[in-house]
């Protein structure tokens, strides 16, 4: 496996974020009173030509903030359909993820958090993957327009995975795996104007027993406020599972560019 080559893009992202942090202002320790925030999002992508493809993604989330604890619950669903001349219409993408976290003293320069998630993915051949763990977050820079933080954690994971078989052979029994992963995350937010801003998150989760078996995710989103809690946005997401092809997936990598709208209330 080409671990170094696969992580080149993630390393470049981390370097750019580190440079942005060096130019950012000192930390701001102010924390708001209790605030509830709800988010609804709908986005998609349409490609046409030799192979027409439609991708639709939805997301719903709720966050509770105060000076002592931040509670977060998030759900995402994505479906993709492709028209192919040889076989007709095929559903080649279908995935969902439910995640939650509890962040203690979220506005402090350093804080601890718990997190857990459950996911399923047709394109990466994941029947079910559940994980949960703990971590420590360090805020490198924060002011009214910029926030840059890094975190390191450890998690337990249990997965129900299909096994790859030769063509014409009956399906093999599902394989249950349990392992421990390290979890590293870099997160950067920046407001360019009162309406425009961007967010970037890169995460890397290697198997503690072998760093050549890993998961990586990179998400960048650019948004523009339309007023009254409505936003237009463009997002780029890339997921990498180093063992996906061994389970019968076409690629270890899965990415999409989505255009959509969201509302917060």
Yes or no: say if 125 and 161 are a contact pair by the CB < 8 Å rule. Answer: yes
- Partners of 178 in beta bridges: 158
Q: Which helix (H) or strand (E) holds 221?
A: strand 210-227
**Residue 166: alpha-carbon gap to chain centroid:** 32
Q: What is the pLDDT of residue 164?
A: 74
Q: How confident is the model at residue 178 (pLDDT cuts 50, 70, 90)?
A: very high
Q: Report the distance separating Cα 120 and Cα 81, nearest Å.
A: 17
Is the model's pLDDT at 231 over the cut of 90?
A: yes
The model carries a pTM of 0.81
Is the model's pLDDT at 6 over the cut of 80?
A: no
Q: What is the pLDDT of residue 33?
A: 56
CA atoms within 13 A on the CB side of 106: 20
**Tokens (6 digits) for 12:** 């470049």
Token pair 């079910």 is found at 128
What percent of the chain is modeled with pLDDT above 70?
Answer: 85
Largest CA distance in the chain: 62
Mean pLDDT across the chain, nearest whole number? Answer: 87
CATH number at residue 168: 2.40.160.40
Per-residue pLDDT tens digits for 103-157: 999 889 999 999 999 999 999 999 999 999 999 999 999 999 999 999 999 999 9
Token pair 């339309």 is found at 226
Structural domain harbouring 132: 3-264
Within 8 A by CB and 6+ apart from 227, the residues are: none
Number of domains in the chain: 1
Per-residue pLDDT tens digits for 23-53: 444 444 455 556 899 999 999 998 777 678 8
Q: Which helix (H) or strand (E) holds 233?
A: strand 230-241
Is the model's pLDDT at 170 over the cut of 70?
A: yes
């Amino acid at each position: 496996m080409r671990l170094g080559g696969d992580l080149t893009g993630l390393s470049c992202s981390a370097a750019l974020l580190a440079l942005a942090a060096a130019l950012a202002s000192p930390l701001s320790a102010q924390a708001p009173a209790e605030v509830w925030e709800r988010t609804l999002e709908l986005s998609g992508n349409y490609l046409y030509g030799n192979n027409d493809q439609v991708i639709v993604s939805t997301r719903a989330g709720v966050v509770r903030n105060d000076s002592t604890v931040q509670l977060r619950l998030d759900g995402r669903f994505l479906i993709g359909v492709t028209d192919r001349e040889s076989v007709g219409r095929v559903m080649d993408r279908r995935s969902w993820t439910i995640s939650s976290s509890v962040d203690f003293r979220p506005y402090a320069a350093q804080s601890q958090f718990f997190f857990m998630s459950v996911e399923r993915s047709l394109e990466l051949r994941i029947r079910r993957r559940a994980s949960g763990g703990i971590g420590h977050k360090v805020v490198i820079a924060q002011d009214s327009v910029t926030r840059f933080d890094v975190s390191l954690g450890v998690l337990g994971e249990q997965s129900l995975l299909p096994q790859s078989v030769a063509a014409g052979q009956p399906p093999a029994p599902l394989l249950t795996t349990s392992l421990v992963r390290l979890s590293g995350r870099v997160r950067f937010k920046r407001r360019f104007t009162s309406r425009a801003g961007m967010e970037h998150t890169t995460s890397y989760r290697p198997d503690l027993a072998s760093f050549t078996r890993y998961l990586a995710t990179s998400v960048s989103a650019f948004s523009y406020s339309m007023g009254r809690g409505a936003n237009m946005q463009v997002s780029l997401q890339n997921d990498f599972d180093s063992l996906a092809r061994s389970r019968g997936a076409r690629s270890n990598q899965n990415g999409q560019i989505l255009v959509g709208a969201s509302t917060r209330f």
